[in-house]
Protein backbone atom coordinates (compact mmCIF):
# COMPACT_ATOMS: atom_id res chain seq x y z
CA UNK A 1 0.00 0.00 0.00
CA UNK A 2 1.21 3.51 -0.79
CA UNK A 3 2.28 5.52 2.22
CA UNK A 4 -0.67 6.95 4.14
CA UNK A 5 -1.04 9.44 6.96
CA UNK A 6 -2.57 7.91 10.06
CA UNK A 7 -3.78 9.96 13.02
CA UNK A 8 -3.87 7.86 16.19
CA UNK A 9 -6.35 9.34 18.69
CA UNK A 10 -6.06 8.05 22.26
CA UNK A 11 -7.31 9.32 25.60
CA UNK A 12 -3.98 9.85 27.38
CA UNK A 13 -0.74 8.29 28.56
CA UNK A 14 -1.28 9.32 32.19
CA UNK A 15 -0.84 5.62 32.97
CA UNK A 16 0.88 3.39 30.43
CA UNK A 17 -0.87 0.04 30.23
CA UNK A 18 -1.65 -2.47 27.51
CA UNK A 19 -3.61 -0.10 25.27
CA UNK A 20 -0.94 2.59 25.53
CA UNK A 21 1.85 0.17 24.64
CA UNK A 22 -0.24 -1.08 21.73
CA UNK A 23 -0.80 2.43 20.34
CA UNK A 24 2.93 3.14 20.44
CA UNK A 25 3.99 -0.26 19.11
CA UNK A 26 1.52 -0.08 16.24
CA UNK A 27 2.58 3.47 15.41
CA UNK A 28 6.25 2.45 15.30
CA UNK A 29 5.48 -0.58 13.16
CA UNK A 30 3.48 1.51 10.68
CA UNK A 31 6.23 4.14 10.51
CA UNK A 32 8.73 1.36 9.89
CA UNK A 33 6.66 0.35 6.86
CA UNK A 34 6.90 3.86 5.45
CA UNK A 35 3.59 5.33 6.67
CA UNK A 36 3.32 8.67 8.45
CA UNK A 37 1.81 8.48 11.92
CA UNK A 38 1.01 11.07 14.55
CA UNK A 39 -0.52 10.41 17.97
CA UNK A 40 -3.08 12.89 19.36
CA UNK A 41 -3.96 12.61 23.05
CA UNK A 42 -4.58 14.61 26.20
CA UNK A 43 -1.53 16.04 27.97
CA UNK A 44 0.12 13.82 30.55
CA UNK A 45 3.38 13.03 32.34
CA UNK A 46 4.40 10.14 30.08
CA UNK A 47 4.07 11.81 26.68
CA UNK A 48 6.86 11.14 24.21
CA UNK A 49 8.24 13.98 22.06
CA UNK A 50 6.45 12.92 18.87
CA UNK A 51 3.02 12.77 20.53
CA UNK A 52 0.73 15.73 19.98
CA UNK A 53 -1.28 16.91 23.03
CA UNK A 54 -4.83 18.19 22.51
CA UNK A 55 -6.58 20.75 24.70
CA UNK A 56 -8.50 19.89 27.83
CA UNK A 57 -11.42 21.98 29.03
CA UNK A 58 -11.86 22.64 32.72
CA UNK A 59 -14.54 20.44 34.26
CA UNK A 60 -16.37 21.50 37.40
CA UNK A 61 -15.84 18.53 39.65
CA UNK A 62 -13.67 15.44 39.50
CA UNK A 63 -15.97 12.63 40.60
CA UNK A 64 -16.93 9.74 38.33
CA UNK A 65 -20.30 11.20 37.38
CA UNK A 66 -18.73 14.41 36.07
CA UNK A 67 -16.02 12.46 34.26
CA UNK A 68 -18.41 10.13 32.49
CA UNK A 69 -20.90 12.86 31.62
CA UNK A 70 -18.01 14.75 30.06
CA UNK A 71 -17.23 11.71 27.90
CA UNK A 72 -20.70 12.07 26.41
CA UNK A 73 -20.21 15.75 25.75
CA UNK A 74 -16.92 17.41 24.85
CA UNK A 75 -14.08 17.53 27.40
CA UNK A 76 -11.39 18.51 24.89
CA UNK A 77 -13.05 20.42 22.05
CA UNK A 78 -11.03 18.33 19.59
CA UNK A 79 -12.11 19.07 16.00
CA UNK A 80 -11.00 18.05 12.50
CA UNK A 81 -9.19 21.38 12.38
CA UNK A 82 -6.77 20.16 15.07
CA UNK A 83 -5.69 17.39 12.68
CA UNK A 84 -5.77 19.55 9.54
CA UNK A 85 -2.08 20.43 9.68
CA UNK A 86 -1.23 16.72 9.59
CA UNK A 87 -3.81 15.99 6.85
CA UNK A 88 -4.53 12.36 7.80
CA UNK A 89 -5.88 9.88 5.29
CA UNK A 90 -7.41 7.85 8.10
CA UNK A 91 -8.06 8.31 11.83
CA UNK A 92 -7.56 5.37 14.20
CA UNK A 93 -9.28 5.91 17.56
CA UNK A 94 -8.28 3.89 20.61
CA UNK A 95 -9.59 4.70 24.11
CA UNK A 96 -11.93 7.66 23.68
CA UNK A 97 -13.05 8.14 27.31
CA UNK A 98 -11.39 11.39 28.32
CA UNK A 99 -11.45 12.63 24.72
CA UNK A 100 -15.25 12.45 24.49
CA UNK A 101 -17.53 10.83 21.95
CA UNK A 102 -18.57 14.08 20.26
CA UNK A 103 -15.02 14.84 19.09
CA UNK A 104 -14.81 11.27 17.75
CA UNK A 105 -18.08 11.78 15.86
CA UNK A 106 -16.78 15.03 14.38
CA UNK A 107 -13.57 13.38 13.24
CA UNK A 108 -15.48 10.47 11.70
CA UNK A 109 -17.64 12.82 9.64
CA UNK A 110 -14.50 14.38 8.17
CA UNK A 111 -12.05 11.48 7.92
CA UNK A 112 -12.36 7.69 7.39
CA UNK A 113 -12.24 6.44 10.99
CA UNK A 114 -11.81 3.12 12.77
CA UNK A 115 -11.80 2.37 16.49
CA UNK A 116 -9.96 -0.49 18.19
CA UNK A 117 -12.19 -1.57 21.08
CA UNK A 118 -9.77 -1.80 24.00
CA UNK A 119 -12.50 -1.77 26.66
CA UNK A 120 -16.25 -2.11 27.14
CA UNK A 121 -16.93 1.63 27.34
CA UNK A 122 -19.90 1.40 24.96
CA UNK A 123 -21.64 -0.75 27.58
CA UNK A 124 -20.32 0.57 30.82
CA UNK A 125 -18.18 3.58 31.74
CA UNK A 126 -16.63 1.88 34.76
CA UNK A 127 -15.42 -1.38 33.24
CA UNK A 128 -17.69 -3.12 35.74
CA UNK A 129 -20.11 -5.16 33.66
CA UNK A 130 -20.45 -7.65 36.49
CA UNK A 131 -22.51 -5.05 38.38
CA UNK A 132 -25.21 -4.83 35.71
CA UNK A 133 -28.60 -6.11 36.77
CA UNK A 134 -28.38 -4.89 40.36
CA UNK A 135 -30.43 -1.74 39.78
CA UNK A 136 -33.15 -1.29 37.17
CA UNK A 137 -32.71 2.49 37.29
CA UNK A 138 -28.96 2.31 36.71
CA UNK A 139 -29.44 -0.21 33.91
CA UNK A 140 -31.90 2.15 32.21
CA UNK A 141 -29.42 5.02 32.44
CA UNK A 142 -26.66 2.84 31.02
CA UNK A 143 -29.00 1.82 28.21
CA UNK A 144 -29.73 5.46 27.36
CA UNK A 145 -26.00 6.21 27.45
CA UNK A 146 -25.22 3.30 25.13
CA UNK A 147 -27.93 4.30 22.65
CA UNK A 148 -26.45 7.80 22.49
CA UNK A 149 -22.97 6.40 21.92
CA UNK A 150 -24.14 4.15 19.10
CA UNK A 151 -25.67 7.12 17.31
CA UNK A 152 -22.42 9.08 17.62
CA UNK A 153 -20.32 6.16 16.37
CA UNK A 154 -22.42 5.49 13.27
CA UNK A 155 -19.60 6.63 10.94
CA UNK A 156 -16.91 4.62 12.75
CA UNK A 157 -15.70 1.11 11.88
CA UNK A 158 -15.19 -0.94 15.05
CA UNK A 159 -12.21 -3.28 15.28
CA UNK A 160 -13.01 -5.98 17.83
CA UNK A 161 -10.03 -7.71 19.48
CA UNK A 162 -11.99 -10.95 19.93
CA UNK A 163 -15.34 -12.42 19.03
CA UNK A 164 -15.99 -12.69 22.78
CA UNK A 165 -15.69 -8.92 23.22
CA UNK A 166 -17.95 -8.25 20.23
CA UNK A 167 -20.58 -10.72 21.38
CA UNK A 168 -20.57 -9.38 24.94
CA UNK A 169 -21.15 -5.83 23.72
CA UNK A 170 -23.85 -7.03 21.32
CA UNK A 171 -25.59 -8.83 24.19
CA UNK A 172 -25.76 -5.66 26.29
CA UNK A 173 -26.28 -3.20 23.42
CA UNK A 174 -27.85 -5.02 20.42
CA UNK A 175 -27.90 -1.84 18.33
CA UNK A 176 -24.09 -1.93 18.14
CA UNK A 177 -24.50 -4.75 15.60
CA UNK A 178 -25.69 -2.11 13.13
CA UNK A 179 -22.27 -0.41 13.21
CA UNK A 180 -19.61 -1.41 10.71
CA UNK A 181 -16.97 -3.66 12.22
CA UNK A 182 -14.74 -6.70 12.00
CA UNK A 183 -12.73 -8.89 14.37
CA UNK A 184 -9.01 -8.06 14.28
CA UNK A 185 -7.29 -10.11 17.01
CA UNK A 186 -4.58 -8.18 18.83
CA UNK A 187 -0.93 -9.16 19.14
CA UNK A 188 2.26 -7.81 20.66
CA UNK A 189 5.69 -7.39 19.07
CA UNK A 190 8.66 -9.27 20.34
CA UNK A 191 11.64 -11.26 19.20
CA UNK A 192 11.37 -15.04 19.35
CA UNK A 193 12.05 -15.76 23.01
CA UNK A 194 13.81 -18.97 23.85
CA UNK A 195 13.86 -18.29 27.57
CA UNK A 196 14.05 -21.26 29.92
CA UNK A 197 11.01 -21.85 32.13
CA UNK A 198 10.73 -19.35 34.96
CA UNK A 199 10.86 -20.02 38.68
CA UNK A 200 7.47 -21.42 39.85
CA UNK A 201 7.91 -19.77 43.23
CA UNK A 202 7.83 -16.25 41.72
CA UNK A 203 4.48 -14.76 40.69
CA UNK A 204 4.30 -11.50 38.72
CA UNK A 205 1.46 -8.99 38.46
CA UNK A 206 2.06 -6.51 35.66
CA UNK A 207 -0.50 -3.82 34.90
CA UNK A 208 -2.61 -0.95 36.16
CA UNK A 209 -3.03 -0.77 39.94
CA UNK A 210 -6.79 -0.28 39.84
CA UNK A 211 -9.56 -2.00 41.83
CA UNK A 212 -11.27 -3.60 38.81
CA UNK A 213 -7.97 -5.28 37.93
CA UNK A 214 -8.21 -7.30 41.15
CA UNK A 215 -4.95 -6.10 42.72
CA UNK A 216 -6.48 -5.90 46.19
CA UNK A 217 -7.85 -9.45 45.83
CA UNK A 218 -4.39 -10.67 44.86
CA UNK A 219 -2.77 -8.91 47.81
CA UNK A 220 -5.33 -10.35 50.22
CA UNK A 221 -4.90 -13.87 48.85
CA UNK A 222 -1.12 -13.62 48.99
CA UNK A 223 -1.08 -12.40 52.59
CA UNK A 224 -3.32 -15.32 53.52
CA UNK A 225 -0.86 -17.90 52.16
CA UNK A 226 2.48 -16.11 52.59
CA UNK A 227 3.26 -17.95 55.84
CA UNK A 228 2.58 -21.30 54.19
CA UNK A 229 4.72 -20.98 51.06
CA UNK A 230 8.27 -19.95 50.29
CA UNK A 231 7.59 -17.67 47.35
CA UNK A 232 7.71 -14.08 46.08
CA UNK A 233 5.01 -11.85 44.60
CA UNK A 234 6.32 -9.18 42.23
CA UNK A 235 3.98 -6.29 41.44
CA UNK A 236 4.78 -3.86 38.65
CA UNK A 237 2.68 -0.96 37.42
CA UNK A 238 1.15 2.26 38.62
CA UNK A 239 -2.24 3.70 39.44
CA UNK A 240 -4.48 4.65 42.37
CA UNK A 241 -3.65 1.42 44.22
CA UNK A 242 0.05 2.22 44.45
CA UNK A 243 0.04 3.13 48.15
CA UNK A 244 -1.91 -0.01 48.99
CA UNK A 245 0.74 -2.10 47.26
CA UNK A 246 3.60 -0.25 48.96
CA UNK A 247 1.94 -0.74 52.36
CA UNK A 248 1.40 -4.45 51.65
CA UNK A 249 5.09 -4.78 50.86
CA UNK A 250 6.00 -3.23 54.21
CA UNK A 251 3.73 -5.66 56.08
CA UNK A 252 4.60 -8.75 54.03
CA UNK A 253 8.27 -9.08 53.00
CA UNK A 254 7.49 -11.60 50.24
CA UNK A 255 5.62 -8.85 48.32
CA UNK A 256 7.99 -6.71 46.25
CA UNK A 257 6.78 -3.60 44.47
CA UNK A 258 8.82 -2.87 41.34
CA UNK A 259 7.16 0.40 40.37
CA UNK A 260 6.41 1.35 36.80
CA UNK A 261 8.67 -0.57 34.40
CA UNK A 262 9.92 0.27 30.93
CA UNK A 263 10.28 -2.46 28.31
CA UNK A 264 13.67 -3.60 29.61
CA UNK A 265 12.33 -3.68 33.16
CA UNK A 266 9.31 -5.72 32.08
CA UNK A 267 11.58 -8.24 30.40
CA UNK A 268 13.72 -8.56 33.55
CA UNK A 269 10.63 -9.10 35.71
CA UNK A 270 9.21 -11.66 33.29
CA UNK A 271 12.52 -13.55 33.29
CA UNK A 272 12.40 -13.79 37.09
CA UNK A 273 8.79 -14.90 37.26
CA UNK A 274 7.32 -18.32 36.73
CA UNK A 275 3.71 -17.15 36.60
CA UNK A 276 1.70 -14.13 35.53
CA UNK A 277 -1.19 -13.24 37.84
CA UNK A 278 -4.20 -11.83 35.96
CA UNK A 279 -6.89 -11.48 38.67
CA UNK A 280 -9.20 -8.98 36.95
CA UNK A 281 -12.74 -8.73 38.32
CA UNK A 282 -14.32 -7.72 35.02
CA UNK A 283 -14.40 -9.04 31.46
CA UNK A 284 -11.20 -8.21 29.62
CA UNK A 285 -11.14 -7.56 25.90
CA UNK A 286 -7.85 -9.33 25.19
CA UNK A 287 -5.20 -8.99 27.89
CA UNK A 288 -2.09 -7.79 26.09
CA UNK A 289 0.06 -8.50 29.16
CA UNK A 290 -1.12 -12.11 28.90
CA UNK A 291 0.10 -12.21 25.30
CA UNK A 292 3.50 -10.99 26.51
CA UNK A 293 3.56 -13.66 29.20
CA UNK A 294 2.76 -16.42 26.71
CA UNK A 295 5.52 -15.23 24.39
CA UNK A 296 7.86 -15.59 27.36
CA UNK A 297 6.54 -19.08 28.16
CA UNK A 298 4.95 -18.01 31.43
CA UNK A 299 1.64 -19.70 32.31
CA UNK A 300 -1.12 -17.54 33.77
CA UNK A 301 -3.22 -17.56 36.94
CA UNK A 302 -6.48 -15.91 35.86
CA UNK A 303 -10.05 -15.34 36.95
CA UNK A 304 -12.75 -17.07 34.93
CA UNK A 305 -14.32 -13.75 33.95
CA UNK A 306 -11.04 -12.40 32.52
CA UNK A 307 -9.74 -15.59 30.88
CA UNK A 308 -7.28 -14.53 28.13
CA UNK A 309 -8.74 -15.77 24.83
CA UNK A 310 -5.38 -16.52 23.20
CA UNK A 311 -4.33 -19.00 25.92
CA UNK A 312 -4.96 -22.75 25.91
CA UNK A 313 -6.51 -24.38 28.95
CA UNK A 314 -3.18 -26.13 29.55
CA UNK A 315 -1.48 -22.72 29.90
CA UNK A 316 -3.81 -21.52 32.67
CA UNK A 317 -4.85 -21.95 36.26
CA UNK A 318 -8.37 -20.50 36.47
CA UNK A 319 -10.11 -19.27 39.63
CA UNK A 320 -13.60 -18.08 40.43
CA UNK A 321 -13.05 -16.03 43.59
CA UNK A 322 -10.62 -15.04 46.36
CA UNK A 323 -10.74 -18.42 48.11
CA UNK A 324 -9.94 -20.19 44.86
CA UNK A 325 -7.11 -17.72 44.23
CA UNK A 326 -5.48 -18.63 47.54
CA UNK A 327 -5.62 -22.31 46.60
CA UNK A 328 -4.30 -21.54 43.11
CA UNK A 329 -1.30 -19.69 44.52
CA UNK A 330 -0.46 -22.65 46.74
CA UNK A 331 -0.80 -25.01 43.78
CA UNK A 332 1.25 -22.83 41.45
CA UNK A 333 4.27 -22.19 43.65
CA UNK A 334 4.33 -25.80 44.89
CA UNK A 335 3.89 -27.38 41.46
CA UNK A 336 6.26 -30.27 40.64
CA UNK A 337 8.97 -29.22 38.20
CA UNK A 338 7.88 -31.63 35.45
CA UNK A 339 4.28 -30.39 35.53
CA UNK A 340 5.41 -26.78 35.51
CA UNK A 341 7.63 -27.39 32.47
CA UNK A 342 4.60 -28.82 30.64
CA UNK A 343 2.56 -25.70 31.40
CA UNK A 344 5.44 -23.45 30.42
CA UNK A 345 5.82 -25.30 27.11
CA UNK A 346 2.09 -24.91 26.45
CA UNK A 347 2.30 -21.18 27.16
CA UNK A 348 5.26 -20.77 24.82
CA UNK A 349 3.39 -22.61 22.05
CA UNK A 350 0.45 -20.22 22.49
CA UNK A 351 2.84 -17.30 22.33
CA UNK A 352 4.36 -18.48 19.06
CA UNK A 353 0.92 -18.35 17.45
CA UNK A 354 0.68 -14.58 18.07
CA UNK A 355 1.95 -13.02 14.86
CA UNK A 356 2.61 -9.29 15.24
CA UNK A 357 3.57 -8.71 11.61
CA UNK A 358 0.38 -10.39 10.39
CA UNK A 359 -1.63 -8.25 12.79
CA UNK A 360 -0.06 -5.03 11.50
CA UNK A 361 -0.76 -6.07 7.91
CA UNK A 362 -4.41 -6.74 8.79
CA UNK A 363 -4.71 -3.26 10.30
CA UNK A 364 -3.20 -1.79 7.14
CA UNK A 365 -5.82 -3.67 5.12
CA UNK A 366 -8.49 -1.97 7.25
CA UNK A 367 -6.96 1.40 6.37
CA UNK A 368 -6.91 0.40 2.70
CA UNK A 369 -10.60 -0.45 2.79
CA UNK A 370 -11.53 2.77 4.62
CA UNK A 371 -9.54 4.87 2.15
CA UNK A 372 -11.03 3.08 -0.85
CA UNK A 373 -7.67 1.78 -2.02
CA UNK A 374 -8.05 -1.42 -4.07
CA UNK A 375 -6.34 -4.56 -2.83
CA UNK A 376 -2.97 -5.30 -4.48
Where residue 56 falls among pLDDT bands split at 50, 70, 90?
confident
Does the structure show a pLDDT above 90 at 145? Answer: no
Provide the mean pLDDT of the chain: 89
Q: What is the pLDDT of residues 234-286, one digit of tens each?
A: 999 988 999 999 999 999 999 999 998 888 898 999 999 999 999 998 888 88
pLDDT higher at 105 or 192: 105
Pick from 92-106, 112-126, 347-361: least confident: 112-126
Of 169, 257, 171, nearest to 219 (Cα)? Answer: 257
Look at the pTM and tell me if it is higher than 0.95. Answer: no
pLDDT at 64: 55
- pLDDT band at 15; cut points 50, 70, 90: confident
Residue 72 has pLDDT above 80, yes or no: no
Q: Which CATH number fits domain 5-187+355-371: 3.40.50.2000, 3.40.50.720, 2.60.40.10, 3.40.50.300?
A: 3.40.50.2000
Superfamily of domain 199-352: Glycogen Phosphorylase B; (3.40.50.2000)
Q: What is residue 335's predicted lDDT score, i.e. its pLDDT? A: 95
Shared fold status for 5-187+355-371 and 199-352: yes
CA dihedral 221, 225, 230, 236 (to 10 degrees): 10
Domain range annotation of the chain: 5-187+355-371, 199-352
Q: Which residue has the higher pLDDT, 356 or 56?
A: 356
Q: Decide which of 160 and 140 is more confident.
A: 160
pLDDT at residue 139 in the model: 81
Amino acid sequence: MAAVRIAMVHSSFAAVGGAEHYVRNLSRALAGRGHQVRIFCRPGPHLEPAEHPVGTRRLHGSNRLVTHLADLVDPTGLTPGDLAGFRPDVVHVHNWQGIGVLPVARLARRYPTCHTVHDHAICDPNNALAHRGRSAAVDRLLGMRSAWLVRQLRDVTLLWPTERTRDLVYAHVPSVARLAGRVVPLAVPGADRTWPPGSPDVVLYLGALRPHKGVDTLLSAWRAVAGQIAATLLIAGDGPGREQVVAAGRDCPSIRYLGYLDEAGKARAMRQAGWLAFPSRCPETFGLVCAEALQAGRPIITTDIARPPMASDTSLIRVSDGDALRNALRTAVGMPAARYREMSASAAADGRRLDWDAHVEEVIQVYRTLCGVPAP
